[in-house]
Amino acid sequence: MGRGRWPIAAALLALCAALYVGLPGVAPSFADDRASEPVREGEYLLRAGGCVSCHTGKEDDAPFLAGGRAIDSPFGTFYGPNITPDPETGIGGWSERDFERALRHGRNPSGSHYYPAFPYTTYSRMRSEDVAALWAYLQTVEPVQRENRPHELDWFARFRPGIAVWKFLHFRPEAFEPDADADDEWNRGAYLSSALAHCAECHSPRTRTGGIKPGLRYAGARMAGGDIAPNITPDRETGIGSWSGRHLMRYLDLGMDPDGDFAGSAMGDVISEGTSFLTDSDRRALVVYFRSLEPIRHEVPPAD
Amino acid sequence: MHRMLMNARNVLVGSAMALALGLSGPVYSFDDGAEVTIDYRQGLMRALGGNMSSTAAIVVDGADFRDNLLVHTRYIVDATRDIPALFPEGSDFGETDALMSIWEDPERFEELSRENHEAAVALHEAVEQGDDAAALMPRFRNVGESCRACHEDFRRTD
């Protein structure tokens, strides 16, 4: 191609790109009124579900949702996979049914089991319309070709059929059932926590086989990296009982605790990529829900 | 009076001799310079937290102390001026939540510290020019986000 034709080629390319993504060519955002309702809802649910912090790398320039984030666990290190619609390395070849099966049953399109580092134990409770909205939004994400990094697991965890045993012991797919005796705000908080934000996954101690210890849901745990996910039941001594609702709301928004200290590490990520995007009313619903729980006196044991 | 002056003179002469002999440091002999640095920075971080907390009470929740806001934001500006200086090599022991990444990736640590300070300056300037709470809120949020960004990468949660 002659040198003089470059500007024409560039202009044509720009035109094609603009037509492809819809003028003037930006990914939908909360401020984007042109995005359809399910797409906007799906983007919100992506934040409420805490998907971004595992499915986007930690680097500043990490491509959005293209995977790569390391997730420490007692079984080794998992790497969040690419969930952009790239057909080769992402979920571009999936159907909506595949997506629903992954979220609700923890199985990939070929039928094999996902490790529960992917919190399908929580997502199985998502309402069908929310699964559909999340799927609609993911279709609009910029496809990124990036191979998934293989997990680095201990020998005993590498045997994938073993996950079937884990699921048999600890996983019961179930729909979210609102509590008819509670008000809408409480039910919204319960739904956000138990079907999307998956707070219990880190904030609960686990049995030797990796299930949440009965009676200690949300009562705090030490995470694989050594950090503490504190007790978030309203126990005054060991939990969040001494925090006011205002403090809790502010923590989920800004990450600031009552002492003016700021969250870091894993919870910093959860706030930056998730809860800070929620509406005030959803943050309030979460707070109402957590403050209503039975207080559990449970001190997270010191590190080994 | 004369006795007091004499005492003062003795102290002065004694101090000068001590300085001349290189004995001006603390009387205990073990090296706890890094420990003192850790004490200092932890105190400073707690004070930063206290000032952030007071600022939030005024800016976010409308506590009736607007006139004190400058005191708080000025402290935040001053205390964040050189955060990396609070983390010299070798100050990573004992009761500290500082992660090794501070010393493994100093450029990133310096960058995030600088962003934190710049956000603090922007908030302070807005307070100085008399902005109302609604205008201060996004600037306060920026300071908070920059605190969190640094803690995410460089501080243990324990």
Q: Which residue stretches of A62-175 are H helix?
A: 96-105, 120-123, 128-139, 162-170
Under a CB-based contact definition with an 8 Å cutoff, are residues A180 and A278 in contact? no
- Please list the residues that pair with A70 across neighbouring strands: A79
A263 CB neighbours in chain B (<8 A) are: 148, 151-152, 157
Burial of residue A149, with CB atoms counted within 10 A of its CB: 0-12 exposed, 13-18 middle, 19 or more buried: middle
Confidence of residue A266 (pLDDT cuts 50, 70, 90): confident
Sequence ranges of the domains in chain B = 33-154
**Rounded mean pLDDT, B25-54:** 82
Confidence of residue A265 (pLDDT cuts 50, 70, 90): confident
**Rounded mean pLDDT, B50-73:** 96
Which domains, ranges and CATH numbers included, belong to chain A?
35-175 (no CATH), 188-297 (1.10.760)
**Range name among A9-13, A106-110, A185-189, B50-54 with the lowest pLDDT average:** A9-13
Give me the pLDDT at residue A32, please.
55
Partner-chain contact A268 B61, CB within 8 Å: no
Residue A269 in contact with partner chain B when CB distance is under 8 A:
yes
Give me the pLDDT at residue A199, please.
97
pLDDT above 60: residue B18: no
**Rounded mean pLDDT, A207-227:** 92
pLDDT above 80: residue A35: no
Partner-chain contact A264 B148, CB within 8 Å: yes
Q: Is the ipTM of this complex over 0.85?
A: no
Q: What size, in residues, is chain A?
A: 304
**Rounded mean pLDDT, B75-91:** 95
Partner-chain contact A259 B49, CB within 8 Å: yes
Which residue among A254, A261, A268 places its CB closest to the CB of B152? A268
* Mean pLDDT score of chain A: 89
pLDDT above 60: residue A14: no
**Rounded mean pLDDT, B29-51:** 86
* Mean pLDDT score of chain B: 85
The alpha-carbon gap from A300 to the nearest alpha carbon of chain B, in Å, equals 10
Token representation of residue A250:
């502010």
Give me the pLDDT at residue A70, please.
94
Cα-based distances in Å from B153 to A191, A265, B101, B103, B105: 30, 6, 7, 12, 10
Give me the pLDDT at residue A161, please.
83
Token representation of residue A79:
């790497």
pLDDT above 50: residue B2: yes
Confidence of residue A8 (pLDDT cuts 50, 70, 90): very low
Confidence of residue B5 (pLDDT cuts 50, 70, 90): low
pLDDT digits (tens, 9 = 90+) for A174-191: 999 999 999 999 999 999
Place of tokens 């030797």: A208
3-state secondary structure of A71: strand
pLDDT digits (tens, 9 = 90+) for B91-115: 887 778 898 999 999 999 999 999 9
**Rounded mean pLDDT, B27-42:** 75
Confidence of residue A6 (pLDDT cuts 50, 70, 90): very low
**CATH second-level architecture of B33-154?**
Up-down Bundle (1.20)
Q: By CA distance, what is B60's nearest residue in A?
A: A250
Strands A221-222 and A152-153: unpaired
The B-side interface with A (CB below 8 A) comprises: 45-46, 48-54, 56, 60-61, 141, 144-145, 147-158
**Rounded mean pLDDT, A40-65:** 95
Partner-chain contact A258 B53, CB within 8 Å: yes
Under a CB-based contact definition with an 8 Å cutoff, are residues B156 and A263 in contact? no
The amino acid occupying position A29 is S
Give me the pLDDT at residue A159, please.
85
Give me the pLDDT at residue A136, please.
97
B153 CB neighbours in chain A (<8 A) are: 264
Confidence of residue B10 (pLDDT cuts 50, 70, 90): low
Q: Which residue stretches of A142-259 are H helix?
A: 162-170, 184-191, 199-203, 245-254
**Rounded mean pLDDT, A65-86:** 95
The shares of helix, strand and coil residues in chain A, as percent rounded to the nearest 5, are: 40, 5, 50
Distance CA B134, CA B62 (A): 10
Sign of CA dihedral A166, A170, A172, A177: negative
Confidence of residue B118 (pLDDT cuts 50, 70, 90): very high
pLDDT above 50: residue A78: yes
Give me the pLDDT at residue A34, please.
60
Computed over its alpha carbons, how large is the radius of gyration of chain B? 21
The alpha-carbon gap from A250 to the nearest alpha carbon of chain B, in Å, equals 9
Helix axes A280-292 and A245-254, enclosed angle (nearest 10): 130
**Rounded mean pLDDT, B62-76:** 96
Give me the pLDDT at residue A11, please.
47
Confidence of residue A17 (pLDDT cuts 50, 70, 90): very low
Q: What percent of chain B has pLDDT over 90?
A: 66
Distance CA A243, CA A245 (A): 7
